Chains A and B, each alone.
Chain A
Amino acid sequence: MADTAKSGEAIIRLENIVKRFGGAEALSGASLTVRRGSVHGLVGQNGAGKSTLIKLIAGLHRADEGTVEIDGKAYDRLTPHLVEELGVHFIHQDRLLVPTFTVGEALFLGRELRFPGTPFLDRAGMRRKSAEILERYFGLSLPHSALIAELSAAEKQIVQITRALIANPKVLVFDEPTAALVRREADLLFQLIRRLSAEGVTVLYISHYLGEIVDLCDTVTVLRNGRDVATLPVAETSAADIGALMVNRAIGELYPKPDVTPGEVVLDVENLALAGRFEAVSFRLRKGEVLGLTGLVGSGAKEVVRSLFGLDRPTGGTVRIKGETVFSADPAAATRRRLALVPEDRRRDGVALDLTVTENTTLASLDRFSRGIIDRSAERRQTENLVKRLEIKTDGVDALVKTLSGGNQQKVAIAKWLSRQSEIYLLDEPTVGVDIAAKVEIYRLIGELAERGAAVLVLSSDIEELLGVTDRILVFFRGSVTREFPSSETSPGEILADVTGAHETLRHAG
């Protein structure tokens, strides 16, 4: 396919790239060199700058400083079209295939084959060509006239890859390609990537799963805080080392964690299962304890939290709250048992932006303030107390919540449950999108909840944060709890290796 003559030269080279969005620097001097014929891994935590870097190569963003070279030539103004002409193609999980197109239309969109010298489409030619590629690389035939909407995630990905292969690519960029695939499909994808590499196609492979990187790539670049901190031959490193490189930051005084002796068990989860999402999940949560859950998207951690709050109905297992078995999947029943959920999508599910601070704070506890008619001065007093206690910065309790900053909105979402006198708090990514100062205040609040005898469960993908605020951490991988760590004796790298499935690779290898 692509020529291998100049193997080893840089085919994509980014030098000291700086990219700002408003005041924030997404990339502050990142470099990346992908050599012809290699399978190059790119890793980094959320916010490290991976997606910005990829969008730069794809011609979707333009660098503020630094140079982008493709095939030895520097380009100032890359466009998605030009990038494809240069032979660089992208396989992206979220990249939209028009769902109402047929397979054939999607494959050739924008570069339809025509009868030479006429405007007429060569339908038979297109069908022949796609069938040949599908047969050669995937050993299967997709009906040319099937609708994209009818395909599975894996089949959609095959359409994307086939579409790229039709254009004779030099470089294929895979952006989190296995996120929606089951194990067997992922294995087939790895085989395909190895084969394309053997045929001389250069591969840039972005993944959260460090195990995959170690398996598949020959070189890996680690991004952290907008910079490339290391580029290593995979043969000389390990998933744990890569993980350590990704999170290497001083933990310091960020986490004011009080020392609380846990009391009785208030939440007892036994063999909880939700078909297709998670299975055999068991843990106990005590008064005064802070338990961390972590895992990648689709690992089941978030689904467990949703099930506990009654948003999803588990298909097996038992949940006991203060010794009482819970049967109904109903948030109203959960809140009556003094469960609280601070959801991840704060602006959609956590606070009502067009209600006032007071109206939000008392929404889950109106019973306390009304016997028929709401006692508005009582709800106001309660809100003013909570605003003071949580140090919520607002123009007043009558201000609309949308006028507050993200961190203060999150505090209102927590205040709602304090007003309800909840005893078991489920916090889903509690510090996403809040600034560092508000984060520390939320950490302090978590500690305070535990001190006052509440049981707290924190779901987070920020591992340092979890290590700082929790007593122990359960790691989820592909639907089950793979390991439990005591927070005080664990390093971020160890957890990350588990989160990303590095131990899976070891198990496969051993």
Chain B
Amino acid sequence: MALPSFAHGLARYALVAALAAVFALFAALAPGFLSGANLLSVLVNNFALLAIVAIAMTFAVSAGGIDLSVGTAVDFSSFAFVSLVLAGQPVALAALGGLAGGALVGLFNAVLIAGIGISPFLATLGTLFVGRSVQQLLTNGGNPVYLPPAGVPEAFRFLGHGALAGIPVPLIVTALVVAGAWVVLARTRFGRVALATGIQASVVRYSGLRLPRITAATYVLVSTIAAVVGLILTSTVTVYIPSSGNAFLLNAIGATFIGTTFDPHGRPNVPGTVLGVLLLGVVANGLLLSGLNFYWQQVGTGLLIFSVLAIGFANRKAAGRV
């Protein structure tokens, strides 16, 4: 049985190779791509926030679902955070409020999916629409909520602009989320059971595990992770812009599925998702620096997703794993 491990190597190689290839390509073609400042900007601007949302998505996909409302959780977190700071609450408390705001979105999804039994795709699509309307109602039809520059506490700016030992805080937070998520998904009972739910839910039920509880926990976790992004984003730009979180949605889904090629069995996994986000980030930044028309960036991203998925799929098929 040498073929599967060989093909598995190839499938994993596809993602790493694609990353190395685009990196080399832009190093050669895009002026300034290799500069330290640019690479740091890739990490902070193109990687950190998307990585957190994509990891949230990885949990949903792992459990056999999807969460189209991750952006809604980002927005609700951002709105709650800004509102509480404006109301004069301590920043730490306001941040907790932000996380709770995001978690609320997950709770709503949990009721729809685990309680009523609506499919995750439709349930979270509904939440996406409802969330957008709620935000418009809360903001007089979608007006941004600014924090007056004078009134912003220093602690508030720290999440987005601070640094520890020279490392930007957003990157540190992302690293913590990545490490935590990796442990939870790959090494804990919850992660294992969520994975089993995604692979064959009825076996989970027939094994005496409480399926609705696991599903509900998954969607609350997804939204809570996404809510972290709401905090960082708000701290960075000191404004809440309604429905802005949805910008992460498609890239998060793309990165998660690109990441599945990194697993021998094609399962969603945290390291794969991180590599997927890096790949998308490098491509976006590189295309921008190459002076390519903005609209061509999307084409590049799409082609990239196709090719990585195709190679990964073909390899697993050759190994008889599909």
Contact yes or no, A373 B200, CB < 8 A? no
B204 at the interface (CB under 8 A from A): yes
> Cβ of B208 and Cβ of A335 under 8 Å apart?
yes
A98–B4 Cα gap in the complex (Å)? 45
Interface: B193 (CB within 8 A): yes
Say if the beta carbon of A341 comes within 8 Å of chain B. yes
Kindly supply a per-residue 1/0 record for chain B positions 250-285, scoring 1 wherever the CB is within 8 Å of any chain A CB and 0 otherwise: 000000000000000100000000000000000000
- Among B85-93, B183-191, B240-248, the one that faces the other chain is B183-191
- A136 CB to closest chain B CB (Å) equals 47
Q: Contacts A355-B200, A359-B196 hold; do A373 and B183 have CB atoms under 8 A apart?
A: yes
Which residues of the other chain, A, contact B187 by a CB distance below 8 angstroms? 373-374, 376
Residues of chain A lying within 8 A (CB to CB) of residue B196 = 352, 355, 359, 363
Q: With A and B bound together, what is the CA distance between A142 and B315 in angstroms?
A: 58
B317 part of interface (Cβ distance < 8 Å)? no
Q: Is the CB of B199 within 8 A of A355?
A: yes
Name 21 interchain pairs, CB-CB below 8 A, sorted by A.
A311-B206, A331-B208, A334-B208, A335-B207, A343-B206, A348-B203, A349-B202, A349-B203, A350-B203, A352-B196, A355-B199, A363-B203, A363-B204, A363-B207, A363-B209, A364-B207, A366-B192, A367-B189, A370-B188, A372-B188, A376-B187
Residue of A nearest to B264 (CB): A398
Q: Within the complex, what minimum Cβ distance (angstroms) separates A336 from chain B?
A: 7
Looking at chain B's contact residues, is the secondary structure mostly helix, strand, loop, or mixed? helix
Contacts of A376 in B (CB 8 A): 187
B189 touches A370 (CB 8 A): yes
Count, chain B residues at interface, CB 8 A:
22
Whether the Cβ atoms of B188 and A359 lie closer than 8 Å is no
Measured in the bound complex, the distance between the Cα atoms of B199 and A341 in whole Å is 20
**A: number of interface residues (CB 8 Å):** 32
Contact: B206 with A350, CB < 8 Å?
A: yes
Please report which residues of chain A, range 43-72, place their CB below 8 angstroms from some CB of chain B when the two chains form the complex. Answer: none
Partner pick for B188 among A330, A335, A349, A374, CB 8 A cutoff: A374
Contact surface of B with A, Cβ cutoff 8 Å:
1, 183, 187-189, 192-193, 195-196, 199-200, 202-210, 265, 321
Closest to A379 in B: B192
CA distance A364 to B195 in the complex (A): 14
From A351, A352, A373, residue with most partner B Cβ within 10 Å = A352
Q: Is the CB of A374 within 8 A of B189?
A: yes
Q: Is A36 an interface residue when CB atoms closer than 8 A count as contact?
A: no
**B189 and A331 form a contact (CB under 8 A):** no
Provided the pairs A349-B202, A350-B203, A352-B199 are in contact, do residues A364 and B189 lie with their beta carbons within 8 angstroms? no
Q: Roughly how many angstroms separate A376 CA and B208 CA in the complex, as a whole number?
A: 21
Contact B193 A332 (CB under 8 A): no
Question: Which residues on B sit within 8 Å (CB–CB) of A372?
Answer: 188-189
Inter-subunit contact B321/A349 (CB<8 Å): no
Contacts of A351 in B (CB 8 A): 203
> Within 8 Å CB of A400, what residues of B?
265, 321
User: Bound complex: CA of A360 vs CA of B193, how far in Å?
Assistant: 10
In Å, the complex CA distance between A350 and B199 comes to 13
Which residues of A sit under 8 angstroms from B210, Cβ to Cβ?
330, 332
The residue of chain A having its C-beta at the shortest distance from the C-beta of B266 within the complex is A354
CA distance A330 to B211 in the complex (A): 11
Q: Which residues of A contact B199 (CB under 8 A)?
A: 352-355
In the assembled complex, the CB of A349 is this many whole angstroms from the nearest CB of chain B, namely 4
What residues of B have a CB within 8 angstroms of the CB of A332 in the complex?
208-210
Cβ–Cβ < 8 Å partners of A350 in chain B: 203, 206
Contact status B209-A364, CB under 8 Å? yes
Pick the residue among A353, A360, A364 that contacts B208 (CB under 8 A). A364
In this complex, the member of B189, B193, B195 whose beta carbon has the largest number of chain A beta carbons within 10 angstroms is B189
Q: Which residue of A lies closest to B1 (CB)?
A: A395
- Nearest first, the 6 closest Cβ-Cβ pairs linking A and B are A335-B208, A352-B200, A364-B207, A349-B206, A366-B189, A352-B203
Could you tell me the distance in whole angstroms from the C-beta of B53 to the nearest C-beta in chain A? 25
Question: In the complex, how many angstroms separate the beta carbon of B203 from the nearest chain A beta carbon?
Answer: 4
In the complex, A364→B204 CA distance in Å?
8
**A302-358 with Cβ < 8 A to chain B:** 311, 330-332, 334-336, 341, 343, 348-355
A321 and B192 alpha carbons, distance in the complex (Å): 30
Instruction: Please tell me if the beta carbons of B189 and A354 are within 8 angstroms of each other in the complex.
Output: no
| Residues B188 and A331 in contact, CB atoms below 8 Å apart | no
| Contact B200–A331 (Cβ < 8 Å) | no
- CB neighbours of B1 from chain A (8 A): 395
Contact check, B265 vs A353: say whether CB atoms are below 8 A apart.
Answer: no
Contacts A332-B210, A341-B206, A395-B1 aside, 11 further interface pairs with beta carbons under 8 A come to A331-B206, A332-B208, A335-B207, A354-B199, A354-B265, A355-B199, A363-B209, A366-B189, A366-B193, A370-B188, A374-B189
Determine the distance from Cα of A330 to Cα of B187 in the docked complex, in whole angstroms. Answer: 27
Q: Tell me which residues across on chain A come within 8 A of B205, comparing CB atoms.
A: 331, 349
Is there a chain B Cβ closer than 8 Å to A257's Cβ? no
Most A CB within 10 A of own CB, among B193, B202, B203, B204 = B203
Complex CA distance for A341 and B203, rounded to whole angstroms:
11
Cβ-closest chain A residue relative to B186? A374
Give the most central of A330, A353, A364: most B CB within 10 Å. A364
Q: What does the 1/0 interface line of A169-205 toward B look like (CB < 8 Å)?
A: 0000000000000000000000000000000000000
Question: Is A416 an interface residue when CB atoms closer than 8 A count as contact?
Answer: yes
- Determine the distance from Cα of A336 to Cα of B207 in the docked complex, in whole angstroms: 11
**Among B189, B195, B199, B207, residue most surrounded by chain A Cβ atoms (within 10 Å):** B207
State in angstroms the CA–CA spacing of A355 and B204 once bound together.
Answer: 12
B200 touches A354 (CB 8 A): yes
Max chain A C-beta neighbours (<10 A), residue from B1, B192, B205, B206:
B206
Q: How far is the CB of B63 from chain A (nearest CB, A)?
A: 13
Give Cα distance in the complex from A374 to B184, angstroms: 10
Contacts of A352 in B (CB 8 A): 196, 199-200, 203-204
A348–B206 alpha-carbon span in the complex (Å): 10
B-chain residues with CB within 8 Å of residue A330 when the two chains form the complex:
210
* Given known A336-B208, A364-B209, A400-B265, contact A353–B192 (CB-CB < 8 A): no
Closest to A335 in B: B208
Q: Which of B192, B202, B209 contacts A359 (CB 8 A)?
A: B192
- A370–B189 Cα distance when bound, in Å, is 7
Residues of A within 8 A of B193 (CB): 363, 366
Closest to B210 in A: A332
Contacts of B202 in A (CB 8 A): 348-349
Chain A residues in 8 Å Cβ range of B200: 348, 352-355
A347 → chain B, closest Cβ, in Å?
9
Contact (A374, B192) CB under 8 Å given A332-B208, A354-B265, A400-B321: yes
What residue of chain B has the Cβ atom nearest to residue A375's Cβ? B187
Closest to A403 in B: B320
> A348 — which chain B residues lie within 8 A by C-beta?
200, 202-203
Q: Nearest chain B CB to A427's CB is how many angstroms away?
A: 13
Chain B residues near A355 (CB-CB < 8 A): 195-196, 199-200
Distance of A335 Cα from B195 Cα, bound (Å): 21
Q: Which of A343, A374, A395 has the most CB of B within 10 A?
A: A374
Write out the residue numbers on chain B whose beta carbons fall within 8 Å of the beta carbon of A353: 199-200
Q: Which residues of A contact B209 (CB under 8 A)?
A: 332, 363-364
Closest CB in chain A relative to B304 CB, distance in Å: 27
Q: In the assembled complex, which residues on chain B have CB atoms less than 8 Å from the CB atom of A395?
A: 1
